Amino acid sequence: RACELLAALLFPALQKLAASGAQGGGNADSKFAGAVELSYGGLDVFFGGLEGQVGAPDPKVYSAMEAEHTKKADAKLKFVTGNYGVTTSSEIEWWFVIDPTRERLARLRLEQWPAEGDSKLPERRHRRRPVPLAKVEEERDRVNERLR
């Protein structure tokens, strides 16, 4: 849905840019060439805040996050991270953090967790590895205790 809305917003502006024939010379070299002009809302928009634009957040944060990562239409959609070239999905990343077990891998029909490629991160010892959430929380508590 978000992609459709974004496409609906951008398409008319891109058509206008293409029709203008801006391919060089004049203003086409300007850093603002082809820029879409934005407009401000009124006070009602300002005082409505973000909630007025996108709606109220779900007060059940954990279950909302889990649903967003594992049950939405794009949860299984694979993507490649720009920094380390990891091919993954929202669902896989959720379980990598929440339940990085062999049983979960099997349920996801994976042999191993997605990892950085050799060309992006040759040093295997620097690559990410699954760590049970309880261990992460223990370490967080240990560090927090030192900081008090």
Confidence of residue 29 (pLDDT cuts 50, 70, 90): low
CB 127 within 8 A of CB 115: yes
* Predicted confidence band of residue 6 (pLDDT cuts 50, 70, 90): confident
Question: What is the reported pTM?
Answer: 0.63
The share of the chain scoring above pLDDT 70, in percent, equals 90
Across-strand partners of 88?
79
Where does the pLDDT of residue 23 fall: very low under 50, low under 70, confident under 90, or very high at 90 and above? low
pLDDT score, position 30: 65
Residue 22 has pLDDT above 80, yes or no: no
Q: What's the mean pLDDT when you consider all of the chain?
A: 88
Name the residue among 111, 91, 89 with its Cα closest to residue 102: 111
For residue range 92-114, list pLDDT tens digits in order: 999 999 999 999 999 999 999 99
User: What's the token pair of residue 64?
Assistant: 């909302």
Mean per-residue pLDDT, 3-21: 79
Return the pLDDT at 19: 76
Q: Are 132 and 113 in contact (CB under 8 A)?
A: no
CB 79, CB 89: distance < 8 Å:
yes
Among 15-24, 83-92, 122-131, 135-144, the range scoring the smallest mean pLDDT is: 15-24
